[in-house]
Amino acid sequence: MKVVILEDANEVARYGADIFERQLAHKADSVFGLATGSTPVALYRELIERHQRESLSFAGVTTFNLDEYLGLPPEHPQSYRYFMQQHLFDHIDIRPESTFVPSGDADHPIEACDEYEARIRNAGGIDVQLLGIGRNGHIGFNEPTSCLTSRTRIKTLTRETIDDNARFFGPDEEQPHLSITMGIGTIMESRLVVLLATGASKAQAVKAMVEGPVSAWCPASILQMHPSTVLIVDEAAAGGLSNPEFFKHIERENQALLTRLGMV
């Protein structure tokens, strides 16, 4: 796992956006796996700016979101489909029919999970999967104890995750306790995983992910087994790591090597 430690959340967003921009330069019809939550918002803002400023185009892109609340229709303001329209899709040139979010109001949600898997497969698999991380180490809505080879399915949210996400819901709004989420096995099949974490509240989860045992207690720790994962963190989220200087040293060495090879 490559660990990149940067000054602050803005730098994290820019570094992440650079990865997406490079991927688009290499493959205009890339398949992206996308996340919701607070963390990726700055990265999406950066991509929108690059679209407006530099005509970075998403016209050939297909996207698959990680998760959705079970029971919320797409037009519900707290649904993840609504979030994606607001924070990204409505501001770039992506074709609406190429954006997929698990269907929270499917008549047959179990079948819908299998169909989602088939759609990802038919699209050729995910080239770059963007992830955030929960304070309890979840990725997508794969909460602690999730099967490490799981596929897209219905998952029960933990009390901690419900409390963390309560900030998005009004006092009288009912907050779902169930979700549809891509599985850990689904995520592990992505060619490149880019996980962003910012803020001190993520420091323990980041430490468990990087240094802890690979364990269903910290679902993100399975990424130690992924051949191509980039973890991008700010100083605060890196605060629990035993040896952050080592990762900074590696990054400097990498940059020096790329410069020497004329690759930057």
Q: Which residues are catalytic?
A: 67, 136, 138, 143
Binding residues for ligand F6R, per CB under 6 A? 35-39, 66-67, 132-134, 138-141
Cβ distance to ligand F6R smaller for residue 60 or 240: 240
- Supply φ then ψ for residue 47, to 5 degrees: -65, -40
What is the nearest approach in angstroms of ligand F6R to the Cβ of residue 196? 8
CA atoms within 13 A on the CB side of 114: 3
Cβ distance to ligand F6R smaller for residue 60 or 199: 199
What is the nearest approach in angstroms of ligand F6R to the Cβ of residue 43? 11
Give the C-alpha separation, 237 to 116, whole Å.
Answer: 32
Cβ distance to ligand F6R smaller for residue 201 or 254: 201
Helices within the chain (DSSP H only): 9-26, 41-54, 80-87, 109-122, 159-165, 184-188, 203-211, 244-260
Q: Which residue is nearest to ligand F6R, using beta carbons? A: 132
Torsion on CA atoms 77, 81, 83, 84, rounded to nearest 10 = -160
Give the C-alpha separation, 260 to 264, whole Å.
Answer: 9
What is the nearest approach in angstroms of ligand F6R to the Cβ of residue 65? 7
What is the nearest approach in angstroms of ligand F6R to the Cβ of residue 244? 21
Cβ distance to ligand F6R smaller for residue 87 or 138: 138
Residue with token string 């992440």: 16
- Determine contact, residues 47/77, Cβ cutoff 8 Å: no
- Determine contact, residues 181/143, Cβ cutoff 8 Å: no
Q: Give me the helix-helix angle, 9-26 and 41-54, nearest 10°.
A: 50
Instruction: List CB contacts of 100: < 8 A, sequence separation 6 or more.
Output: 62, 63, 64, 65, 116, 119
Cβ distance to ligand F6R smaller for residue 35 or 94: 35
What is the nearest approach in angstroms of ligand F6R to the Cβ of residue 103? 15
What does DSSP assign to residue 135? T
